[in-house]
Structure 1
Amino acid sequence: MPAKIPLRTFALSSMVLAMGAASSAMASNGFSDDVVRIGVLTDMSGIYTDLSGEAAVEAVRMAVEDFGGEVGGVPVEVIYGDHRNRADTGASRAREWYDNDGVDMINDLSNSGVALAVAAVAEERQRHAIVNSSSNIGLTNDYCSPYVTHYTYDAHSLAHGTGKSIVEDGGDTWFFLTVDFAFGIGLEEQVSEVVREAGGQVVGAARHPLDTTDFSSYALQAQASGAEIIGIASTGADAINAINALAEFGVTPGQRPAALLLWYDDIASLGLETAQGLMLTNAFYWDANDETREFSERFYERTGRMPNMAQAGNYSSTIHYLNAVEAAGSDDPDAVSEQMRELEINDFFAKGGYIRPNGRMVHDQYLWEVKAPDESEYDYDFMRLLTTIPGEEAFQPLENSSCHLLEHNQ
């Protein structure tokens, strides 16, 4: 069982006042239904299945097994479902799980629209949701809740990692290829703000539907823009197709792509020949140190793949949730929320991590560069570390959050 985590002192007065009474009756031992049930709501069949999917479910299962399979004397169960990248499907499944299936916490939540919809249901039902596979900073702003935790990364950390670093490296003019829904638009807005603050210029954008396969017209628009940087505000198959199209059509001299959310899995799909030189911000890399390698090798044995940052976050956040349940002596949502925000996170994923009153888990982020093929020395040796970005710098300053739980917004 992982070591129990020490308490971190943190001001929670405004959040505690905002919490309502728990919605489900407690059994005599403090646990509703005499079980703690975790639901993994993910993309099992669509564009993001390689980034989350079955591997996300397996990460949560690993965490439960490593914790011992029970907490407070009751078993921990894991179920999963496919949100099909539809906000209405995700919200409907969340209601069903919370209301009928006794789910205490929902994890993963790839797709920003789905994450926002489920966050609203979690707030309404006063049950927990932990977001590991979505970037939308609305989760810790207008859609914040004492029951919602944004754990691994967000658009602000990506923008202030990759975007800021590229501008500082001389990439002053930007054109965006943006997936046309909440995730892509939010990421484009965050990076545009960083570019302008640094004295750069955004010359335009082209928006494409989710799951686009033919990027030829978008690549030509990017070329015609004359921008130095082609910012790819998408991920998964969309980002892979966009990068391949830019490579196929050949960006003009002086232009280069910037993948604003590139995953380890995407690099594997692209190959180092195409992906070499790309900079990316990630919260986790399997080969960073002995601790990450130990976890990743166990994960590989179960899944046949190395974990990406969201899958590592699924594991870490599940352990953190179970630590909070154990500290509370109950699965009462309010008691668990308080413990989640008091317990410090120290594991292979985060050192000194903590959850702010608005639900943002603060931890270091890392700027990486993709290696050239002749620099890769062994299997899955894809990236080199450029710099570490302290969590307090990577994430939105708390005073800028519009979350209603914060004292300055009351």
Structure 2
Amino acid sequence: MAKIDLIVRRATLDGKEVDVFVSKGKIVEVKKSVKSLDADDAKVEEAFGLTLMPSMTDVHVHLREPGYEYKEDVESGLRAAAWGGFSNIMCMANTKPINDNASVTEMMLDKARTYWPKGPRLIPIGALTKGLSGKELAPMAELAESGCGAFSNDGVPVKSTKIFRRAIEYASDWNRVVIDHCEDPYMGVAAGVNEGEVSSRLGLPAQPDIAEALQVGRDVLLAEYLDLPIHLAHISCKKSVDLIRFAKERGVKISAETTPHYLTMTEDYLEAEGTEYDTNAKVNPPLRTEADRQSIIEALNDGTIDCLATDHAPHATFEKETEFDVAPCGITGLDTALSVTWQLVKDGVLDKDAFTRAWTTAPCGIFNLPVNTFAPGDPADFFLFDEGEEWTVSNETLYSKGKNTPLLGSTLKGRVKTHFIAGKKIV
């Protein structure tokens, strides 16, 4: 047996008390806990009463740096990720300057190595088109070689199907996947409100669910025609789910993500008593109906939707404290995602296997990232979680600079107590 350098003692994994043995950043063995053992020179982490979980992966985060450091930066975003239970973070390209060249990618990676040398790992997502303009492909080879793990025009839907097709083909040459922001560019772009009864009562310009579904349909047909993968970002409605399910039944290489807020919130958050026109609930795509929410839960449970992502979109408080129609879209999520989604498991709404797949194996499989399943040889990426700890979502308890969440003031249950990546304690 390899020389053990870390032992986690008496942690709870799948309802059993276990000891975890780590050597050189890898899992050596996980076995039933014993009353005493000879640790030799290994570091021992006592975990009695805490739940052992594999570190999670978030494939859709906005870290804002460079250009918008007042909203978030690499250091603060990775801090929120570390305390949120995430080992792998993929960050979108809509920075200033946009991440459409190697120098921006390398700057992001340098910042991550400087502030968080032991992780979380940062995987930049390169711009699909130059300046996110949708008119000319970004230098995808340069971006891939500099460390980008995927490509996306997130936030700005690509109007030209011809350009989008070429992007998918070129990305495949570098074994990269394109992540598509599914939004018809002519139907209420970034309105932040679902078109329906609530938007009518509030008198707000809105976006219908078919604005998303139309682009999902386009992507399904393209993926089938090209026989190449496309990943669909932040799926929010039943119409999209139906199309994705249809595609998967046909063997189309489509994968999809949704977010905690589409699992737990609806458009009703916009007119709840005392929170009418709550700009913290303004997000793109918008919060949909209860029927949509139920469809998203079902799709995540049955695997139609592959994975979860936060779409962490921090904004400064002053940007959200303004008129609804001019406030930016976005909800911050790195701090709250684990507590929110684990509660769904505890409540019997989300299957535990679906939770694990959605936060670990599926995203890592889609984007070829390291994943811990607690098998020998897996990266020793895991955290200890206090399922019973209650905490209130507030400016003081959120590690992210972004405080823009409809959960402000809510009490959640469950917090990360310590986090290891490659066998090294990061928090």
Taking structure 1 as the reference length, the TM-score comes to: 0.31
